[in-house]
Amino acid sequence: MPSRPPTLAYKAVVLLVVVAPLLATLVAIYTLWERAVTWRDVTLFFVFYALIAFGVTVGFHRMLTHRSFRPHPVIKFLLLALGSMAFEGPALQWAATHIKHHAQADREGDPHSPAEGFLHAHVGWMFSSDVADPEVYCRHLVNDPIVTFISRTFLLWGALSLLIPFAIGGWEGLLWGGLVRMFLTHHVTWSVNSVCHTFGKRSFETNDRSRNEWVVGLLAFGEGWHNNHHAFPRSAFHGLRWWQFDLSGYLIWALEKMRLAHEVYRVPAAQLARRSQRAGDARATSSPLAPLVTPAPTSAEPVGAP
């Protein structure tokens, strides 16, 4: 039975739940400026948010789960350690859950589909007893020594994400560089699961409800171009048009230029045009990242391809 589109009231409630805490944090910073919040606190917040967000988007998601590029071992270790600092679960479990999501996106068995309610997709799914088994969904990673080491030491990296800002800035550093940062990181990541399967635009036909949402795209360093991602799961770049800002994609491009990443997968132009839902979208200018490197061989099926 087809689902009905969300009502205006429903959209307003979702907007309040997702955006209000972020706005409240900004108001708190403004009202407490130079009384309880300083430039050091704000700097710790943004630096740790950026580093750990890259660990999730570039490390856990594009590198580990979808094999969008092959990194230098040191870069691989650093990205996975930073991703673990997000407190979103060990690397192996994160990858297994996401691969299961792609395999059953918005159908029965999807760990976090809005088909079971927006709040379930956003946070409720984590209380489910149905856990994705890495031996089933990412067995190739179970034998990877770097991945297994980072996964086993997950709590160490999570603790460091709190201890380091505390060592730099005391209790205020722990608050802003640790707890407030963790709050925003979590809600931005969860918004990809919930908001980007509920609101936004679709540029490509996929067997799910994935959508592109520019606000999440900015906050999640490019992950909000989620319909693009579900159309081309293995692509290292989720922003496929020049105006779809993808900060994670630019980091991968920079690593590639420094020869710290190779076999970076790009969607071939002909395939991109063929999959476009509208002729006007097919003629649109692609991302400036797209023509910089010849795509990797396409014989391997992308992980979680629809």
- Model confidence at 291: pLDDT above 90: no
- The total of structural domains in the chain comes to 1
CA torsion through residues 24, 27, 33, 38, sign: positive
pLDDT at residue 132, as a whole number: 86
**Euclidean distance between CA atoms 166 and 201, whole angstroms:** 41
Residue 3 forms part of a structural domain: no
67, part of any domain: yes
Q: Could you report the per-residue pLDDT of 157-166, keeping only the tens digit for each?
A: 999 999 999 9
Check residue 302 and give its pLDDT.
36
Let me know if residue 163 belongs to a domain.
Answer: yes
Domain range spanning residue 218?
8-292
What percent of the chain stands above pLDDT 90? 55
Residue 303 maps to a domain: no
305 occurs within a structural domain:
no
Question: Quick one: pLDDT band at residue 154, thresholds 50, 70, 90?
Answer: very high
Question: What pLDDT shows up at residue 11?
Answer: 57
pLDDT digits (tens, 9 = 90+) for 210-265: 999 999 999 999 999 999 999 999 999 999 988 999 999 999 999 999 999 999 99
Any domain includes 138: yes
Instruction: Look at residue 24 in the predicted model and tell me its pLDDT.
Output: 66
From 13-17, 65-69, 182-186, 200-204, the region with the lowest mean pLDDT: 13-17
Q: Residue 1: inside a domain, yes or no?
A: no
Enter the pTM of the model: 0.83
